[in-house]
Structures are given as structure tokens and as C-alpha cells.
Structure 1
Amino acid sequence: MQRFDVIIIGGGPIGIACGLEAKKAGLSYLIIEKGPIVNSLFNYPINMQFFSSSEKLEIDEIPFISKEAKPKRNEALEYYRRIVTSNKLAIHLFEEVEKVEQRDKKFIVETSKSAYEASNVIVATGFYDLPNKINVPGEDLAKVSHYYKDPHFYASQKLAVIGASNSAIDAALECYRKGAEVTLIIRGPEVGKRVKYWVRPDIINRIEEGSIKAYYDATVNEIRENNLDINTSESLVTIPNDFVLALTGYMPNFEFLKRLGIQLSNDEKLLPTYNPDTMESNIEGLYLAGVICGGMETHKWFIENSRVHAPTIVKHILSKKV
């Protein structure tokens, strides 16, 4: 069985940052990622543009050069991939961690392909893999998706987009501009306040001119093959429909965290327990890094404000070795 000072679960930007720090510190390490490099970013919409500027997405002070101030998905994929390959980071791709067990102050990490021993484990798995379900009849139909990729697919189709955040608004605008008949279903009274400032006026104008139909204070009641029911503040509305994009957000894998023994708060936020000074969880030697630290508050942590987790964790690991 291979042994490491630290195993990093998750090969996203923060997992990569942790790998860089471990390598610089002379620690033996391994990054384990269940998909490709920066799997979550790979699954973002093809035309997605970041809210943050390129310098805020940089890790380890490696310059991120983009055509515009705010880079797009393809530029981010290139940036993080080059960091991994140029620095020859130890990373296993398409290998999923299935179990982590602590034995005699060591961790046994079992994956879909092998098993490893580590003195420390860093969990940097993000939150993009599990969608927040709307839990209505018809949600399991093939026409319903919780992920959006390319607007071309929805051209000339009647598309319902559920949600009011950046992902939903971007999808609504892109699909409308590719010829889809778009209906927005928004649970609150308005478009989300956190929508990108240069996008929010665009969607509001499209709604006001009638190019995109919007239902506010509304929820989906049932989805069927050719239509769906919407509960509004006034009545139940049935609209013709070909496809549904339920872009209602995502959540960390809380069941995985529980299996690791990490304590979660007893409220709807489900905040994992960790020491903000060291990022160590309630289990000695088990650390949290990146957006997973926010529990259900997925808007609190981003690449730009969680990059610091990597040097913080490695510094603490080194202090224990001394």
C-alpha cells in the first residue's frame, strides 16, 4: 500500500492549490479526482464567464492571462490544466474515493481503483455534483435536467428555466438568443440580487419587453411530457413545454462528510465543523478546503477567497511534523 503525508480528495482549483503547497513543502502527497482535471469547471456551461477577474482565480501566484478581464470556462480549463501538467503534480484522475477510515492515527483511503495510507487527508470536493431537487412529479423525466451545457440544444424549443441565480439567468438569456421560447420560473419576487451586475439589466429588459416570459413568486407543481403546471400567487397555470432546466443550485456531499465523521451543524445550513485558523475538522488530521466549508451556504466560498486554505493547511501539517 502506498503511503503519503497527505491525500487530497478533489482535483479542482483548491485541491490543485493544496497539491502545489504540499509539493513545495516537500511533503509526499496525492490528489485523487473522480473525473477530469477541475471536474466541476469542466461541467460548467460551455460559454460560461466567471464573475471574478482572472487575477482572483490565480493560485500560487501563477499568472492567469485571459482575453477579457473576466475569463471564460475554456480559459480556466487551460489555466488549471497547465498548472497540473507543468508542475507535474501527482494526481489520479477518474478515480473515486469510496471510503476513508482512521486506524492508529493514520487514514486508509479506499478508492474505486486502489487503497492508500495517509497521515493527513484534505477534503476539497466542492458542491457541484449534487443538485438541489425540486421534488415534484415528473422531475425524473428525460426532458428535465439540473445541468446546462449548450444553448444550441434548445433552439426552437419551449424551454422552462427554474431558478433566479447566475446559472439560471445565463441559461435563459443564451437559449433565448439561440431561438428557444424561454419561460423563467422564479420562487421569489424578483431576479436574484447576486446575479452578475452586467447580466441583471439584460434579463430584466428581456422580461419587460416580453422576449422572455417570467413568473414570480412561483413554483412548479408538476412536469409532464408536453406541458407543466406552475403555482403562482394568483392561480395554477399550465404552459406547453418541451424541456425543463431546473437550475436551483447544488449542495456538498453531506453523506460523504458524515461517513468521514465530520460533524455538521444542526440547522438548515449544515455547516461542517473546522478550525478556521488551521482548517482542521473535528477529526485530527482531516482538513476541509474550498467551498465545501460553507455547507448549504454555497455562495460564501469561492476560488478567490478560499485559495488561502491551501497554505494554511500545509503550514499546520508541517508544524505537527516538527
Structure 2
Amino acid sequence: MPQKENHYDVLIIGAGPIGMACAIEAQKANLSYVIIEKGALVNSLFNYPVFMTFFSTSQKLEIGGVPFVTISPKPNRNEAVEYYRRVAEKFNLNIHLFESVNQVVKKDDDIFEISTSKTSYTANNVIVSTGFYDVPLLMNIPGEDLPKVTHYYKDPHLYAFQNVVVVGANNSGVDAALETYRKGANVTMVVRSGDLGPHVKYWVRPDIQNRIKEGEVKALFNAELIEIRAGEVDIKTLEGIVTIPNDFVIAMTGYQPDFSMLRKFGIELPKSLCPVYNEETMETNVEGLYLAGVVCGGLDTHKLFIENSRVHAEMIVKNILN
């Protein structure tokens, strides 16, 4: 049985910005809490490309009333990681890092039992704030499991002077194509649709359009990567199969929440894969089990961001107190 000191009013799964915001609200309400995070603090942001710039302004990324001061209007990944670490220090948040949650079970006495990779806990309420960045959408093609394929682009220097295929033309794909091109890579973009993604950052779109127009970045539209081999790839185009030399594939195909984990916790998932929850309280079909942040959106991961889901923290704690 868990030790008595391992019982909390609120247990939060995920130490991203929204999980931290939930902890801050719980702290303000004098609720005992703990955050369990399987990786580093703000693990998803840590795994963003090193030189990524946010679409949002710094003010819209603030939590806990702590000002996020940056020189540029739009902060970058490194500034955000530093900001959220300082917030965690300011509030002395109770965070257990590098600890994975295995199961959440609600018992007959309405208390949740939570087992992790390190120990076990009990809690009156559980908040799932795990984001969507942990499970990439796979292409399900031969060779996708080769070491040269990644769904997580980090630093362009690795790809200097290499033949690189970038799959996708949304922000992550466009950033990867431009940054690797500027490090000397021979870049070919493979785009399923006939144009760049509609949500590409407005200050980046002209840049990638001009690079494609000048032939500095090759782009195959209405195309699909169908096979990856050690030194080449096959691409299905409107004109037929094209085979090109290749050293690396950066598959920016998107991500999704860990649906198997949500199901395991008892959260109802309809065919749309959008979890069932009360939009006024963020409570799921399991009483006392809440969702916060982009995990609420299911596959519609482009609808929820830090800026429009920070309010979930206040909504949840208000409902818990009521």
C-alpha cells in the first residue's frame, strides 16, 4: 500500500506549461499536489528544434502571473525552456521528473490509485496534461524504422552536406527544410497536398516560397514517400515513381496524444478520438479525472495551444473546490 505521505488532493500527469499552471492554481488553493513527468521539465518544449521561434508572443505563454520578458516579440525555444524553469523555481513546484505513470485506477472509495515507474500514490483528483508530442503519426511504409529516419527534428548541423528528404509542409517541415538547406543540405520536400500548409508562420512563408521558386529547395507536391532504403527513397508523384539519393529522412508528419493511455485510465474516446469531457469543468466521464491542455483536442492538435488552454487550470481547480 502507498505510504500516507504519498496521498495528494491533486496528482498532475505532465510537467508542461499547462501541468505547471494546474499546480500553481492548486498551490494557491492550498491543495496538496504533485506533478509526475516521464521526462525533463517541459519535456515537449525541450524536444522542440533548438532554434524554433514560437508563433505566439511571450505574453501569451505566461503562467502564474510571472512576466515572460524577451527582447523579440516572439520568444524562441531556448527562452521558453528557461522561463518555465524559473517559474518552477519561483513557486517551488513539487515535481517528480523522469517518472512514468503506468496506471490510474479509481477505487470504490472514490480515491485514485496511481502506479508509476518508481512508486505508487493515491489522490482525490487526477489531472492528465500530457500534450500530444510523444506519439508521432507514422507513415507506415517500408524503411521507416531505419536509423536515418526521425520524427523529431532538433539541430540542422547534423544534416550538413547530406541528401535530406523532409516530409510535410507545415511549420515543423518548413523550418526543417529551411534550416537544413542553410547548413548546406540538399533538401527535397515531399508534400502530400498541392501547397504549403495553411498555418505556416507568416514571416516564414515567403522565405520557403522563394527558396522553392529559385530551386534551392526542391519541393514535390501531390507526392508521397512510399519506401525508404539505406541510400535512396522512392516517392510517388503524379508523373510516377521517383527514386532519389538519400542520407536522412525528417518526417514531420505530426503527432497525437497517447490514446492508449487515456483508454487505460478509463477515459471515453469516441470514433473521432476527441476525449469526452465537460467543457465547463474539464472533468472526463470518470469523476475526479480531468484533462488539461492540448490533450483535450484529440487529433485536432492545431486548435489548442498554451495561450488558449492556460485557463483550464483555473477551471479545474475551481471545480475541485466546489
TM range (shorter): over 0.9
1:300 lines up with 2:315 in the alignment: no
Give 1:201 deviation, angstroms.
Answer: 0.9
**What is the number of equivalent residue pairs in this alignment?**
317
1:76 lines up with 2:101 in the alignment: no
Q: Which amino acid aligns with 1:315?
A: K
2:257 maps to 252
1:288 maps to 291
Superposition pairs of residues 114-263 of structure 1, within 5 angstroms: 114-263=119-268
Which TM-score applies when normalising by structure 1?
0.98
Helix, strand or coil: the match of 1:169?
A: helix
1:275 lines up with 2:283 in the alignment: no
Q: Deviations over 1:217-263 (max 9, x none)?
A: 00011100110000011211001111000110001000000001111
Give 1:17 deviation, angstroms.
Answer: 0.1
Alpha-carbon distance in 1 for matches of 2:294, 2:172: 17
Identical positions, percent: 61
Alpha-carbon distance in 2 for matches of 1:99, 1:260: 7
1:61 lines up with 2:61 in the alignment: no
Corresponding residue to 1:264 among 265, 269, 276: 269
Give 1:23 deviation, angstroms.
Answer: 0.2
Deviating 4+ runs (over 2 angstroms)? none
Which TM-score applies when normalising by structure 2?
0.98
1:311 lines up with 2:314 in the alignment: yes
Give 1:66 deviation, angstroms.
Answer: 0.9
Q: Which runs of 5+ in 2 are unaligned?
A: none
Give 1:34 deviation, angstroms.
Answer: 0.6
Give 1:85 deviation, angstroms.
Answer: 1.1
Give 1:60 deviation, angstroms.
Answer: 2.0
Alpha-carbon distance in 1 for matches of 2:201, 2:256: 21
Q: Which amino acid aligns with 2:276?
A: T
Alpha-carbon distance in 1 for matches of 2:25, 2:34: 12
Q: Deviations over 1:29-68 (max 9, x none)?
A: 0011111110000000000110000000001221000121
Q: Which amino acid aligns with 1:60?
A: G
Q: Which amino acid aligns with 1:248?
A: T
Give 1:173 deviation, angstroms.
Answer: 0.2
Q: Which amino acid aligns with 1:285?
A: G
Corresponding residue to 1:21 among 25, 28, 49: 25
1:45 lines up with 2:49 in the alignment: yes
Q: Deviations over 1:120-175 (max 9, x none)?
A: 00000001011000000000111111110000000000000000110010000000
Helix, strand or coil: the match of 1:220?
A: strand
Alpha-carbon distance in 2 for matches of 1:19, 1:189: 44
Alpha-carbon distance in 2 for matches of 1:60, 1:29: 16
1:110 lines up with 2:115 in the alignment: yes
Alpha-carbon distance in 2 for matches of 1:288, 1:86: 25
Q: Which amino acid aligns with 1:318?
A: L
Helix, strand or coil: the match of 2:260?
A: helix
Q: Deviations over 1:268-310 (max 9, x none)?
A: xx10000000000000000000000000000010000000000
Alpha-carbon distance in 2 for matches of 1:4, 1:150: 40
Give 1:266 deviation, angstroms.
Answer: 1.4
Helix, strand or coil: the match of 1:6?
A: strand
Superposition pairs of residues 94-105 of structure 1, within 5 angstroms: 94-103=98-107, 104-105=109-110
Give 1:22 deviation, angstroms.
Answer: 0.2
Alpha-carbon distance in 2 for matches of 1:138, 1:100: 36
Helix, strand or coil: the match of 1:98?
A: strand
Helix, strand or coil: the match of 1:82?
A: helix
Alpha-carbon distance in 2 for matches of 1:72, 1:79: 11
